Structure 1
């Protein structure tokens, strides 16, 4: 699944399907589905190609809308392997956490927890003073990997 497809699917399941149930199949929901499909392309373009500030704001709006709750955003590690998780990791790191666990860092980087431990031990990734790895270090490593053309 691509980034636009994931955004559309998530908004469809979390917002539009419940709205359709509440409005008892009103045709206006179809118009909203078309609008979401158009806007999802724009949001994806901003996440991929906008300035850091624009990408971070777009990520924050999408996350706040798609994953509302009383607690801080803390997706399961496998979420970071999705197109949305990957683009957010590259553009913003973990948007609400200064440091992440080795398991989350591994998921963001596409490696194992042990792989993160090895990178920290060898000095390739810094260790956060409070434990884990700085989210910004994950973001920087992903960006460096992208500029080198690595997968």
Structure 2
């Protein structure tokens, strides 16, 4: 299993299946659901990593909405972006619900320090958003370019 698949499975186990197992008093059906989640997690990860942009972003959005339900817009802490799921989302969508991100979040998404982001902005390698921070799509584009260089 890839790190992304493992993270998806682990999050679904903890947030959905473990509570369901408690509610259903250990019913065998939960075991079957765990098997199904493992199969689907592979498919979701593959879609986010290799599918077309629209499908990848929709898959990520469905997972985020399920795993991190809230009445507020999704705004994870900077370290979330360093996780396999965070990196998959960053590469495919940038921050899907925010036009710009802080230097700290941009750094986490890019795997560098906040100061590193500041230096990239100062040197014109990353644009500065008019409202502050860095445009989310600029982070996405930089990550995609890095991935393309790695595969070339």
TM-score, L = length of structure 2: 0.97
- What residue in structure 2 maps to residue 145 of structure 1? 146
Aligned positions of 1:117-128 closer than 5 A: 117-128=118-129
Number of aligned residue pairs: 150
- What residue in structure 1 maps to residue 77 of structure 2? 76
Alpha-carbon distance in structure 2 between the residues aligned to 1:86 and 1:69 = 21
Alpha-carbon distance in structure 2 between the residues aligned to 1:49 and 1:144 = 15
Aligned positions of 1:1-151 closer than 5 A: 2-149=3-150
Q: Deviations over 1:66-104 (max 9, x none)?
A: 000111111111111111111110011011111000000
Structure 2 gaps of 5+ residues are: none
Alpha-carbon distance in structure 1 between the residues aligned to 2:25 and 2:41 = 25
Q: Secondary structure at the match of 1:116?
A: helix
Alpha-carbon distance in structure 1 between the residues aligned to 2:30 and 2:15 = 13
User: RMSD in angstroms over aligned alpha carbons?
Assistant: 1.0
Q: CA deviation at 1:149?
A: 1.0
Alpha-carbon distance in structure 1 between the residues aligned to 2:106 and 2:81 = 9
Q: Deviations over 1:3-23 (max 9, x none)?
A: 100000000000000001111
